[in-house]
């Protein structure tokens, strides 16, 4: 089959495949280990996840992102892969994985898996062969050197654990390069056989039916003497090659870049129309600035970063998020802002790890319902597709007495029963203990009790998800940031012309307004293109004061309040 470029939806009898489904999807990150233990061994598993798909469907989730569940010594939460095509036995079997894909697809839910291609575990047979047989077929699979002084400008990503990107191997008697933990040697992408091997892995999972990949640590594939080892030109070439394979042989499957970089550098991972790279990229530039705004009571940083990240291909989608399984990274903010963030959010040094904060969303926001709502309202209104982290929909807490990022990877809290209903195992056998802190104890914070309260955070988030999904403008529309006379207020219009997709053929404009002030405020917003427009609240439908004939709107907002207002132009 020759190269085919798909731009329009593919229509089969009775079925329309929207190739840009990812632009309208709500994603949910769930670690197999953490969600539900079906066999009482203390660890979550695939069968457990399958049994909870109804819950995720009810919540309104369109796609799951599963961090690695492959064979692994689990020294880095599974990001240390020992075999890319085997499932860790405690998580289940390949047949169960196939069943997960089928059952998810039956619910119109997609499965995106994580692929750490930059490195493997030192337990991977490729590494074992490489260290013991330098002249053998795997001898050149990793980045070996006689000295540990090469590339001194490449930063260390885990400074709390590593003081060099090189480690000495006593078998081969050479140094190997590692961007992350020293037990995670980097693969050598200058070796074409490494390309073949990882492309085989990609095909293996696509043939099993997965809908896409999160490309873990993707900026770091290549190193060079001139660059800093982040987004080197050869790395982008490799991603283009991967994208061409996906587009040609697996249209409709997606690639998501995990590139924790400065705004323009992250945007580069989308590529261009002519040379596309990833369909999506996590919005690392926006994420820390949301948290900054919540405490600084100023929208300035967000306004600045939003204007920097708009110029991307029309099919590209940001993956916006508040939290994930890693620390809230502060690598890409200035030193001054980083110190402010530590002061606000990580006042106990135990809350920090590497260059970031290892806490969950609810604890970061001190369980403030107003802030949780504001943060989610913003998340769901920003350009791109939102990614939720399991448990944040019920405001789960964390456990900073656990090491590293395990603090926010504890078992999902389903009920007030033993082990929070996660597992029937002896509590001491759980892979991590359930949260039992004063405020976030599982006896209070759990799915069952929130289902029983119509005003719970869980019901609130589900409602927002459904409102968002009823308005394609949020996924597909453009953004225009508006001037306001109050620095605490962020206002933007999302606009969608309503054409070109199999869904949502109505043009729509939605004015979104967020107040970061810790007290009520009045604000005047300039919306020159909307003079005379009528405004209606998107949740209740109630009419608001119209924008005046000069294109100005006067509003008052309660403490940390927000509005989503449908604008009907005159």
Kindly state the smallest distance separating residue 207's Cβ from ligand BGC, in Å. Answer: 25
Kindly state the smallest distance separating residue 269's Cβ from ligand BGC, in Å. Answer: 14
Q: Name beta bridge partners: 10.
A: 17
Residue 410 sits at the vertex; the CA angle it makes with 405 and 411, to the nearest 5 degrees, is 155
Give the three-class secondary structure for 549. Answer: coil
Which CB atom, from 29 or from 371, has the smaller least distance to ligand BGC?
29
Q: Which helix (H) or strand (E) holds 527?
A: none
Judged on CB neighbours under 10 Å (0-12, 13-18, 19+), 227 is: middle
Kindly state the smallest distance separating residue 35's Cβ from ligand BGC, in Å. Answer: 17
Q: Which residues, other chains included, contact 58 with Cβ-Cβ below 8 Å and sequence gap of 6+?
A: 462
Q: What is the separation, in whole angstroms, between the first and last Cα of the chain?
A: 51
Q: Name beta bridge partners: 272.
A: none
Q: Is 547:532 a contact under the CB 8 Å cutoff?
A: yes
Which CB atom, from 19 or from 328, has the smaller least distance to ligand BGC?
328
> Phi and psi for 15 in degrees, rounded to 5?
-150, 130
Q: Give the span between the Cα atoms of 95 and 336, in whole angstroms.
A: 51
3-state per-residue secondary structure call for 145-207: ECCCCCCCCCCCCCCCCCCCCEEEECCCCEEEECCCCCCCCEECCCCHHHHHHHHHHHHHHHH
Which CB atom, from 181 or from 492, has the smaller least distance to ligand BGC?
181
Minimal CB distance to ligand BGC: which residue?
A: 79
Helix axes 335-345, 286-296, angle to 10 degrees: 60
Which CB atom, from 52 or from 178, has the smaller least distance to ligand BGC?
178
Which CB atom, from 269 or from 516, has the smaller least distance to ligand BGC?
269
Kindly state the smallest distance separating residue 478's Cβ from ligand BGC, in Å. Answer: 30
Kindly state the smallest distance separating residue 284's Cβ from ligand BGC, in Å. Answer: 11
Q: Name beta bridge partners: 214.
A: 114, 256
Kindly state the smallest distance separating residue 229's Cβ from ligand BGC, in Å. Answer: 14
Q: Give the span between the Cα atoms of 460 and 354, in whole angstroms.
A: 34
Q: Is 258:449 a contact under the CB 8 Å cutoff?
A: no
Which CB atom, from 33 or from 325, has the smaller least distance to ligand BGC?
325
Which CB atom, from 29 or from 277, has the smaller least distance to ligand BGC?
29
Which CB atom, from 183 or from 459, has the smaller least distance to ligand BGC?
183
525: left (phi over 0), alpha (psi -120 to 50) or beta: beta
Residue 398 sits at the vertex; the CA angle it makes with 396 and 403, to the nearest 5 degrees, is 155
Residues with catalytic function: 216, 258
Number of helices and strands in the chain (H, E): 16, 26
Kindly state the smallest distance separating residue 537's Cβ from ligand BGC, in Å. Answer: 38
Kindly state the smallest distance separating residue 360's Cβ from ligand BGC, in Å. Answer: 15
How does DSSP classify residue 31?
-
* Interstrand relation of 508-515 and 562-568 (parallel, antiparallel or unpaired): antiparallel
Q: Which residues, other chains included, contact 329 with Cβ-Cβ below 8 Å and sequence gap of 6+?
A: 260, 284, 288, 354, 355, 356
Kindly state the smallest distance separating residue 324's Cβ from ligand BGC, in Å. Answer: 7
* Interstrand relation of 70-71 and 83-87 (parallel, antiparallel or unpaired): antiparallel
Which CB atom, from 260 or from 515, has the smaller least distance to ligand BGC?
260
Residues forming contacts to ligand BGC in the complex (CB under 6 A) are 76-77, 79, 116, 180, 216-217, 258, 325-326
């Amino acid at each position: 089959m020759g190269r085919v470029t798909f731009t329009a939806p593919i229509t089969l009898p009775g079925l329309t495949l929207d190739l840009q489904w990812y632009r309208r999807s709500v994603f949910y990150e769930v670690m197999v280990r953490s969600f539900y233990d079906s066999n009482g061994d203390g660890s979550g598993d695939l069968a457990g996840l399958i049994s909870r798909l109804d819950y995720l469907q009810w919540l309104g989730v369109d796609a799951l992102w599963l961090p690695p569940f492959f064979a692994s010594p689990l020294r880095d939460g599974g990001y240390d892969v020992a075999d890319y095509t085997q499932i860790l036995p405690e998580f289940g079997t390949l047949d169960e994985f196939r069943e997960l894909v089928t059952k998810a697809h039956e619910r119109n839910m997609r499965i995106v898996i994580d692929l750490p291609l930059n490195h493997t575990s030192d337990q991977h047979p490729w590494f074992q062969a490489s260290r013991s047989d330098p002249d053998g077929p795997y001898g050149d699979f990793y980045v070996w050197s006689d000295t540990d002084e090469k590339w001194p400008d490449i930063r260390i990503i885990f400074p709390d654990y590593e003081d060099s990107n090189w480690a000495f191997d006593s078998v081969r008697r050479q140094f190997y390069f590692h961007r992350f933990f020293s037990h995670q040697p980097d693969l050598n992408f200058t070796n074409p056989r490494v390309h073949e091997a990882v492309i085989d892995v990609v095909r293996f999972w696509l043939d099993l039916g997965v809908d896409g990949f999160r490309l873990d640590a993707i900026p770091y594939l290549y190193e060079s003497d001139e660059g800093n080892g982040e987004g080197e030109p050869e790395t982008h070439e490799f991603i283009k090659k991967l994208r061409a394979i996906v587009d040609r042989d697996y249209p409709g499957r997606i690639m998501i870049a995990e590139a924790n970089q400065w705004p323009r550098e992250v945007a580069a991972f989308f590529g261009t129309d002519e040379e596309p790279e990833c369909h999506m990229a996590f919005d690392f530039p926006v994420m820390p600035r949301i948290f900054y705004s919540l405490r600084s009571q100023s929208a300035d940083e967000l306004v600045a970063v939003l204007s920097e990240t708009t110029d991307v291909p029309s099919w590209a989608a940001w993956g916006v998020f508040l939290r994930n399984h890693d620390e809230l990274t502060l690598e890409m903010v200035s030193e001054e802002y980083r110190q402010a963030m530590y002061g606000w959010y990580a006042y106990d040094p135990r809350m920090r790890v590497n260059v970031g904060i290892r806490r969950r969303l609810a604890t970061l926001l001190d369980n403030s319902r107003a802030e949780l709502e504001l943060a989610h309202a913003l998340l769901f209104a920003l350009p791109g597709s939102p990614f939720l982290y399991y448990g944040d929909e019920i405001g789960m807490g964390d456990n900073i007495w656990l090491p590293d990022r395990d603090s926010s990877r504890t078992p999902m809290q389903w009920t007030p029963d033993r082990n929070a209903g996660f597992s029937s195992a002896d509590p001491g056998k759980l892979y991590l203990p359930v949260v039992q802190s004063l405020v976030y104890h599982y006896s209070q914070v759990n799915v069952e009790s929130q289902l029983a309260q119509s005003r719970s955070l869980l019901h609130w988030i589900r409602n927002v998800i459904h409102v968002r999904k009823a308005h394609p403008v949020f996924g597909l529309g453009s953004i225009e940031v508006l001037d306001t006379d109050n620095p605490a207020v962020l206002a933007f219009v999302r606009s969608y012309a309503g054409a070109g997709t199999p869904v949502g053929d109505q043009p729509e404009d939605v004015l979104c307004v967020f107040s970061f002030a810790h007290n009520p405020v009045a604000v005047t917003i300039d919306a020159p293109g909307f003079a005379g427009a009528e405004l209606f609240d998107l949740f209740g439908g109630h009419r608001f004061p119209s924008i005046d004939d000069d294109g100005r709107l006067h509003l008052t907002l309660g403490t940390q309040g927000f509005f989503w207002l449908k604008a009907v132009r005159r």
